[in-house]
């Protein structure tokens, strides 16, 4: 088998293991400890933040403005509107600044 296929298939196996594994481990416990529960409740914000923060630190002024505007937009609007506003600011400013 060539290396590309080998990497893809093992990558897929490990990814599925991660997606099914958390449940298989946690479902063994009948009562979830409140601290585990509190930790689980924090998972989405914590993980998603790590996908934003390093990108924001490295971003140029145009990207940062788009991100901040989108952040404020999300206080008022839904996901889709917020995303479109952020994308519009980004594309618009890049046409001007380059």
Partner 1 sequence: MSAGSISEGAPGSDVWRGLKAGLPVVVASAPFGLLFGALAVDNGFTPFEAFLMSASIYGGASQMVGLDLFGAKIAPWLIVLSIFAVNFRHVLYSGAVGRRIRHWPPLQQAVGFFFLVDPQYAESEVKGQRGEKITFAWYMSMALPIYVCWIAEAWIGGTFGNLIPDPHALGIDFLLPIYFLGLVMDFRDRPFWLPVVATSAIASVIAYKTVGSPWHVTIGAAAGILLAAAMPLDRKPDDPS
Minimal distance, residue 11 CB to partner 1, in Å:
4
Q: Which residues contact 87 (CB under 8 A, 6 or more apart)?
A: 66
Residue corresponding to tokens 């293991």: 17
Minimal distance, residue 15 CB to partner 1, in Å:
5
Minimal distance, residue 37 CB to partner 1, in Å:
7
Q: Which residues contact 69 (CB under 8 A, 6 or more apart)?
A: 85, 86, 89
Minimal distance, residue 91 CB to partner 1, in Å:
5
Compute the distance between CA of residue 84 and CA of residue 82 in angstroms, rounded to an integer. 6
Q: Which residues bind partner 1 (CB under 8 A)?
A: 3-12, 14-16, 18-27, 32, 34-57, 59, 63, 66-67, 70-71, 74-75, 79-80, 82-83, 86-87, 90-91, 94-95
Residue 12, CA atoms < 13 Å, CB-side half-sphere: 6
């Amino acid at each position: 088998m060539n290396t590309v296929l080998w990497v893809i298939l093992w990558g897929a196996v490990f990814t599925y293991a991660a997606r099914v594994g958390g449940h298989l481990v946690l479902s063994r416990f009948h009562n979830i400890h409140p601290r585990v529960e509190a930790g689980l409740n924090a998972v989405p914000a914590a993980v998603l933040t790590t996908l934003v923060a390093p990108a924001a630190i490295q971003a140029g002024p145009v990207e940062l403005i788009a991100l901040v505007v989108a952040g404020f937009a999300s206080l008022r609007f839904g996901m889709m509107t917020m995303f479109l506003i952020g994308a519009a600011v980004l594309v618009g400013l890049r046409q001007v600044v380059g």
